[in-house]
Structure 1
Amino acid sequence: MQKSLEKPSTNRYAWLNRNSLVRCLEAVQDLLVISLCIGLFSFMTIQLRAMFYSLLPPLNFQVVTSDILFLLILVELFRLLIIYLQEQRISIGVAVEVSIVSVLREVIVRGVLEAHWSQILASCAFLLVMAVLLVVRVWLPPTFSGIDPERRLSMRNKLLTPDQLSESIHPMDSPVTASILAEDNNRVRGEY
């Protein structure tokens, strides 16, 4: 009698399957990013038209430079969204590059001589931090270029029995983990 009562409650939550729910949320997120791409592309074409109008005489150097740099920022943001759609991650390098170009655009538009010294100092500090991020990014392990530590652990947990998992002192001691590590290292060597 208890079994008949338990079945409807488990069937009632069947739509909460984690894998299908995650896939559905990822599809909705991809649709949002695609709509952002379309909107950003439309805005880029409008900005490009405005930039061509600013090239007509009388020519204002600050306006033309500002429009060109703003268009480059939009192109980099579009590239950031495309990378996200392809790899399902945000590219740190592209985000830092967009930040650097945005700060430089503001400095050029306002003019170095017209800006307050504290704003210039803050901009210099920000640019220094962004430059350090670009340099440090090179030494970070290539998590997204074929080596995925989360995949390693999930594969190891799927392939090992619970007894083998409890016997293993360290996750890297398993022969299954060693084979996954070798596969990832071969993949990385083949990419470079």
Structure 2
Amino acid sequence: MYKPIEDNALSAYEINRSRIVRSLELIQDVIVISLCIGLFSFMAIQVRDMFLSLLPPLDFHVVTADILFLLILVELFRLLIIYLQEQRISIGVAVEVSIVSVLREIIVKGVLEISWSQVLATCAFLLVLSVLLVVRVWLPPTFEGIDPEQNISQRYKNRIVRD
């Protein structure tokens, strides 16, 4: 009826499973590295386009949109680097990218050209993201290693101790 699994079979299963997991993580790292290379190449193209947009006639909205778009790309690159180092997505960086992306769209379109319901929804979205960003500082890190919010939290704690 029930036959217990021998220790050799169990350890072979664990070795096989860990080898499969390591292989999948390696494939995932290769995908993320290729995303980093592609994103870096795209940033280089965007920098070239931004410098070309600085030539006369100068359009303020285009230059501003290009600069903000480059900042978004830099933050996405930082998010990928943190993922490679930690094997996790940093909530703080993801929220920062979202905030900058929303603000870029508002600046590019102009607040006066957006309907009041979209402005209200955008404000609510930014408020939720801001609360998430503030709350994230007090949450304990779930992984060892890089924690971008750790410096902010440490500065806040040092300021409280001094006061």
Instruction: Give the TM-score band, short-chain normalised.
Output: 0.7 to 0.9
Structure showing greater relative contact order (alpha-carbon pairs closer than 8 Å, 6 or more residues apart): 2
Shift in Å, 1:89:
0.8
Distance in 1, Cα, partners of 2:106 & 2:15 = 51
Q: TM-score, normalised by structure 1?
A: 0.67
Q: Could you say which residue in structure 2 is the equivalent of 1:52?
A: 51
SS of the equivalent of 1:43 reads helix
Instruction: Tell me if 1:42 matches 2:41.
Output: yes
What is the match of residue 153 of structure 2?
none
The residue number in structure 1 matching 2:142 is 143
Runs ≥4 residues deviating over 6 A? 13-16
1:106-154, Cα deviation, whole Å (9 max, x unpaired)? 00000001111111111101100000001110111122246xxxxxxxx
Which residue identity lines up with residue 67 of structure 1 in the other structure? D
In the alignment, which residue of structure 1 is the partner of 2:117? Answer: 118
What is the SS of the residue equivalent to 1:17? helix
- Which whole-Å CA distance do the structure 2 matches of 1:63 and 1:79 have between them? 24
1:75 is aligned to: 74
In the aligned structure 2, how far is the partner of 1:99 from the partner of 1:55? 26
Q: In the alignment, residue 33 of structure 1 is paired with which amino acid?
A: V
User: What residue number does 1:28 align with?
Assistant: 27
Counterpart CA distance in 1 for 2:49 and 2:43 is 10
Shift of 1:16: 8.2
2:89 corresponds in structure 1 to 90
Runs (5+) with no aligned partner, structure 1: 1-9, 147-191
5 Å matches for 1:121-132?
121-132=120-131
Give secondary structure in 2 for the equivalent of 1:141: coil
Note the C-alpha offset of 1:15.
10
Structure 2 CA distance, aligned partners of 1:28 and 1:118? 44
Aligned to 2:150: none
Structure 2: segments with no counterpart, 5+ residues? 1-8, 146-157, 159-163
Q: Which residue of 2 aligns with 1:102?
A: 101
Q: Residue type of the partner of 1:115?
A: I
Q: 1:14: Cα distance to partner?
A: 6.2
Give the length in aligned residue pairs. Answer: 138
Matched letter for residue 60 of structure 2 = F
Structure of greater Rg: 1
- The residue type equivalent to 1:64 in the other structure is V
Three-state SS of the structure 2 residue aligned to 1:113 is helix
State the alpha-carbon separation in 2 of the partners of residues 38 and 17 from structure 1: 32
